[in-house]
Amino acid sequence: MSNLNLYGGEKDHIRENLNKYTRKAFKSLPKCKNPHILDIGCGTGVPTIELATMSDGHVIGIDIDVTSLNSLQRKIKETELNNRVSAIKNSILTMDFPEESFDIIWAEGSIFVIGFENSIKKWHQFLKPNRFLVIHDENKDKTKKLGLITKCGYTLIAQFELSDNLWWLEYYTPLEQLIQEFRHKYPKDSELINELNKDQIEIDKCKSNSVVISSFFVIMQKV
Ligand SMILES: C[S@@+](CC[C@H](N)C(=O)[O-])C[C@H]1O[C@@H](n2cnc3c(N)ncnc32)[C@H](O)[C@@H]1O
């Protein structure tokens, strides 16, 4: 039996270090009673659960990765949020909801799938009038991205950055320590080692400066 789930759970705790920024972005939205929220590319649902906890609303998390969705499903049970949170297998490439379904659309780390401009254009129809889109994306081309907001039918409410230093301190350094710990504890768990290797490759890319680490949240309102 692999210790993959155990590692996934610990990794999620590290991801939770970034929840304070999810909360900061959420707090910049005007108060909304019982919002309907769509979390696009929800993964294991760290922000999804946080959004449900902060709001009194209903949250749908969508993703294509079944293992991540199963993990979110377990969290929904553990937190007894079954009546307010659902995890659905659905791709960004094919997702279709009735027009004006949501008060808030949230996407952390998933906008790369079809790109910033395509995403904010396509998701516009799923928002109720005057409602909100929150994106957490890499800092690359940030000025250009911010310039697209009005062109695509939104106004800018707020934006803030998560620096390289912050990512190292709150995410990558603890993750690297966790990888080493699990490597040491379970050297014969090949499934786990495979996953640890993948995560280490991601960290090594960050170290070599071949990828952008810093990121930004942007909060927009549909006009
Ligand atoms: C960087 S993770 C972010 C997960 C989560 N939002 C978070 O912030 O912890 C990106 C997620 O996008 C998902 N994803 C990739 N392609 C997708 C697609 N075509 N449709 C839906 N989700 C997708 C991945 O499976 C992954 O869970």
Residue 43 domain flag: yes
Domain of residue 86, CATH code? 3.40.50.150
Residue 110 domain flag: yes
- E-assigned strand segments in the chain: 36-40, 58-63, 85-89, 102-108, 127-138, 154-162, 215-222
Residue 197 domain flag: no
Tokens 């690359």, residue?
Answer: 140
Residue 3 CA, distance from chain mean position: 24
Range of the domain at 79: 18-163+215-222
Residue 108 domain flag: yes
Residue 193 domain flag: no
Measured distance CA(209)–CA(15) in Å, rounded: 21
Residue 203 domain flag: no
Entry pTM: 0.97
User: What is the per-residue pLDDT for 31?
Assistant: 92
pLDDT in tens, 7-41: 999 999 999 999 999 999 999 999 999 999 999 99
Residues with Cβ < 8 Å from 110, sequence gap 6 or more?
40, 41, 92
Residues with Cβ < 8 Å from 44, sequence gap 6 or more?
8, 12, 15, 68, 71, 72, 75
Hey, which of 12, 37, 110 would you mutate to test ligand 1's pocket, going by the most ligand atoms within 8 Å of its Cβ?
110
* Nearest Cα residue to atom 25 of ligand 1: 65
Residue 120 domain flag: yes
pLDDT in tens, 44-63: 999 999 999 999 999 999 99
Name the domain count of the chain.
1
